[in-house]
Amino acid sequence: MFGLIYSLASYLGFLVVFTYFAWFCDGVGVPKTVDTGLATDLGSALVVNVGLLLVFGLQHSIMARPSFKRLLTRVVPAHLERATFVLASSVALGLLIWQWRPLPSEVWNVQGTAAAAPLWIINALGWLGVPLVSFMIDHFDLFGVKQAFNGFRRKSFERRGFVTPLLYKYVRHPMMSALLLGLWVTPHMTIGHLCLTLGMTIYVVVGVQFEERALARELGSAYVRYQGTTPKFLPRATSPAGPPAPAATL
């Protein structure tokens, strides 16, 4: 029972932190935003912010490696490994939000113009798209709840396998595409927001490279064919091809 409660707490915690992160980036509805907080000089702010981005990226990259997973499962049960990853991701993202240093000089600002409304709509679709896309694959598997539930029932865990639901027919990583929309498409961009957006974009591009290598090793020629027919982040104008896609990871 503890494992199930632990996984649910990790899952709900991540949803709260991710929702706050979206509002943090957009600068609406929360007391601490990307453009508020402890003011410092440019050099100090960049050092702190880049360090926070590195902590976030390294946490995701290291904990996603099979060797680290094997080490972790010596400490926690295997069915709680994913929930532990989700919890650590929440902590890393929460730390970034808490300690982020603002750099409020504007890069662009079209608020109050006709362009603002469509940009906010696209922005909202991006942030909402991240969790919604996960339901196209296996949402509760992705966040570790399914594994914990099966562990509670003492039932073996089986993944759905290699499939191409909905948006996965058009791009290989629609969840990351949605995240990038939320980060980049905004009517108000500051230096601090741009620093965060560039850092997260680099994390996505580099992280996806490592993930796809692992998927190609695990899934073989089926995934290699999928890579050859389906773009990574932006859909083509032509009709999607048919090879199946894998369940995405965070």
- Our count of domains for the chain comes to 1
pLDDT at 222: 84
Instruction: Give the single-character DSSP code of 169.
Output: G
Residue 247 lies in a domain: no
Any residues with CB less than 8 A from the CB of 106 and at least 6 apart, and which? 188, 189, 190, 191
Tokens coding 92: 């890393």
Residue 250 falls inside a structural domain:
no
159: amino acid identity, one letter: R
Q: Is there a domain that residue 238 lies in?
A: no
Please check whether residue 246 lies inside any domain of the structure. no
Predicted pLDDT at 250: 46
**Quick check: is 104 in a domain?**
yes
Confirm whether 234 is domain-assigned: no
In this structure, is residue 28 part of a structural domain?
Answer: yes
Contacts of 210 by beta carbon, 8 Å cutoff, 6+ apart: 61, 64
3-state secondary structure of 28: coil
Q: What is the pTM of this model?
A: 0.90
DSSP state of 109: E
Query: Is 222 within a domain?
Result: yes
Residue 201, classified by CB atoms within 10 Å of its CB into exposed (0-12), middle (13-18) or buried (19+), is middle
Instruction: Give the pLDDT score at 162.
Output: 64
Q: What is the pLDDT along the chain (250 residues), one digit of tens a residue?
A: 888 999 999 999 999 999 999 999 999 999 999 999 998 999 999 999 999 999 999 999 999 888 999 999 999 999 999 999 999 999 999 999 999 999 999 999 999 999 999 999 999 999 999 999 999 888 899 899 999 988 888 776 566 666 777 899 999 999 999 999 999 999 999 999 999 999 999 999 999 998 898 888 888 888 888 888 999 999 987 645 544 444 444 4
Reference 41, options 105, 95, 97, 98; nearest CA is: 105
**Containing domain of residue 141, as a range?**
2-229
Euclidean distance between CA atoms 161 and 139, whole angstroms: 14
